[in-house]
Structure 1
Amino acid sequence: MRIVHQTSARTTFSLTNTNDLEGHEQLVCVFDSDTGVFKGVVIGILIGALRTGAIGEVAIKAMARMEAEQVAVIGTGLQARTQLEAAVASRNIKRINVYSRNQENRTMFAQEMTKKLNVNISVSGSAEDCVEEADIVICATNSGVPVIETNWLRPGTHVNTVGPKSVTRHEVPTELAARSSVIATDSIEQLRAYTTPHFLVGTTHENRITQLSDIVTKKVSGRTSDNDITLFCSVGLAGTEVVVANEIMKAIQ
């Protein structure tokens, strides 16, 4: 897949292997749009996690309660790390719980991210224990079945889901959409274009899905009550990785 993004000073493009082959890498190149001079290249999956984290931060800022203090993280991979960084950057977070199926992974995650974020992270013994008191829940797994249950969430909770969301494999339950006052995504067009349909497409909730940008710009209402449960379904807005690459090049000059 080739994506081009141009600003007044930079042109960048992203090349991603769209075949299901092991070991593929993402390549994002940056050129000066006026002179054609090559400025740099970003290789690897980190930029994807950074851009998804950045979008997650926008979602939390726009949708979570201002008073949110406690975060629950389900998952311990790279995406879980950048989403947690987004939450800490967005709100005055005082408590963090983490859970994953692998005890060694969740212990290591807690140790590493406590040191990085300077916020104490507790390891939970179950997903339910992890989320039951949370103000913000981050689901960042590769699970094909729901990793949380809707009735575990207390009123006012915001959920970011960045893992599988197809009709055949989804990490959050469909019932969560029914209980959510606001459902948003970074690209409704992409959400509806999946080869295997998104788990909310074709349901009564599809027409309730709001573009995150419309909430940010106040074209539509987001959260209207501190008791609202809100849901953000991240699809990884196409082209955002090239914007991040462009900003990286500007920062290191």
Structure 2
Amino acid sequence: MLLLTEDQTRDALPYPDLIDALAKMFRSGCVMPTRHHHDMEIPGEPDATVLLMPAWVPGGYAGVKVVNVVPGNSERNLPAISAQYLLSDARTGEMLALIDGGELTARRTAAASALAASYLARSDARHLLVLGTGRLAPNLIAAHMAVRSIDEVTIWGRSREKTEEVVRSLADQFPVKLKSATSLKEALGEADIVSAATLSSEPLIKGALLKPGTHVDLVGAFKPSMRESDDDLVKRAEIFVDTRDGCLSEGGDIVQPIKAGVLSPGEIKADLYELCRGDHPGRQSEEAITMFKSVGAALEDLAGAILAYQSVEH
């Protein structure tokens, strides 16, 4: 059985290829049962979450990802997410590969955001604002740079010190103007694309502050109790999601405004299936504010795992 380390998984999933693999899988589809989602108590700190995410292409490949999300790890200087992905032959059941799930998750998450942005962000988008200083931040930058000509990146985090540290660490990695946000309010008004990857339970992105034509990408807040956007943004924006089922049940940025009567499920314009299949054209106006919410889908992991396996084996 093939074993792919974090570095090997990263090398096997270049963003242009991964974004293309996701688009093809959303067009063709796969079997994707509802994922198992369990809270796991940890004394003295926030609950952890255990996720089990299966998917398969009949007669092709099958896979399952096991994910542990531990918010308290930020205090231990450890990653919040630990995961592994097991890929199998869906015809014979043979176990083919064990792939580093953390790297796969980070890259497919960012690739899904970039795939959405390829339909929803203005073609002349240049300035990217990233909220969050965790593992996803550099991945979101790289992924968005694969679909838009980004030449300026601003990073905002709750800790100014950590944000500055992240900016310094990424300076040699990206050939763009890279800076930390001194004011989130000002940064929100300047950005063409706002990409948020936080575990916030209170809205960080105020819709009233965004300029016309902004695209907002919401990656964090994966529980109904979490939220990164406010009601003003929901009211102003054209709403898109990765999968309707996932976001209607799990994403607080969709679940909470629906519960409050601010948004109805029918007002969601399209999901990635519909965008990739041409059922919805995506952005239709230069002035529109677009909002994309993702909670992740096993389809994305399967597409990435197949790409990683095939690129190494062939």
| Structure 2 length-normalised TM | 0.72
Report which of the two has the higher share of helix.
2
Match of 2:10 in 1: none
Confirm whether residue 177 of structure 1 aligns to residue 228 of structure 2: no
Match of 2:306 in 1: 246
Counterpart pick for 1:224 among 284, 299, 305: 284
Match of 1:116 in 2: 173
By how many angstroms is 1:69 displaced?
0.7
Match of 2:257 in 1: 200
By how many angstroms is 1:19 displaced?
11
Question: 1:15–1:100: structure 2 CA closer, same or farther, 3 Å change rule?
Answer: closer
Match of 1:4 in 2: 55
Rounded to whole Å, the distance in 2 between the matches of 1:223 and 1:81 is 25
User: Aligned residue pairs: how many?
Assistant: 252
Rounded to whole Å, the distance in 2 between the matches of 1:205 and 1:76 is 30
Worse overlay, 10-19 or 187-196: 10-19
- What aligned pairs does 1:38-187 form with structure 2 within 5 A after superposition? 38-164=95-221, 168-180=225-237, 182-187=238-243
Conserved? CA contact 1:73–1:130, under 8 Å: no
Question: 1:25–1:78: structure 2 CA closer, same or farther, 3 Å change rule?
Answer: closer
Match of 2:8 in 1: none
Alignment RMSD (CA, Å): 2.6
By how many angstroms is 1:169 displaced?
2.7
Question: 1:62–1:35: structure 2 CA closer, same or farther, 3 Å change rule?
Answer: same
Rounded to whole Å, the distance in 2 between the matches of 1:137 and 1:20 is 23
Rounded to whole Å, the distance in 1 between the matches of 2:92 and 2:263 is 48
Conserved? CA contact 2:208–2:232, under 8 Å: no
Conserved? CA contact 1:73–1:137, under 8 Å: yes
Q: Give the residue type in structure 2 aligned to 1:4.
A: A
Question: 1:21–1:111: structure 2 CA closer, same or farther, 3 Å change rule?
Answer: closer
Q: Give the residue type in structure 1 aligned to 2:192.
A: D
By how many angstroms is 1:43 displaced?
3.4
**What 5-or-longer segments of structure 2 have no aligned partner?**
1-51, 74-79
Worse overlay, 214-223 or 31-40: 31-40
Q: Give the residue type in structure 1 aligned to 2:65.
A: S
Worse overlay, 46-55 or 166-175: 166-175
Q: Give the residue type in structure 2 aligned to 1:186.
A: D
**What 5-or-longer segments of structure 1 have no aligned partner?**
none
| Structure 1 length-normalised TM | 0.88
Worse overlay, 152-161 or 163-172: 163-172
Confirm whether residue 189 of structure 1 aligns to residue 245 of structure 2: yes
Q: Give the residue type in structure 1 aligned to 2:172.
A: K
Question: 1:21–1:238: structure 2 CA closer, same or farther, 3 Å change rule?
Answer: farther
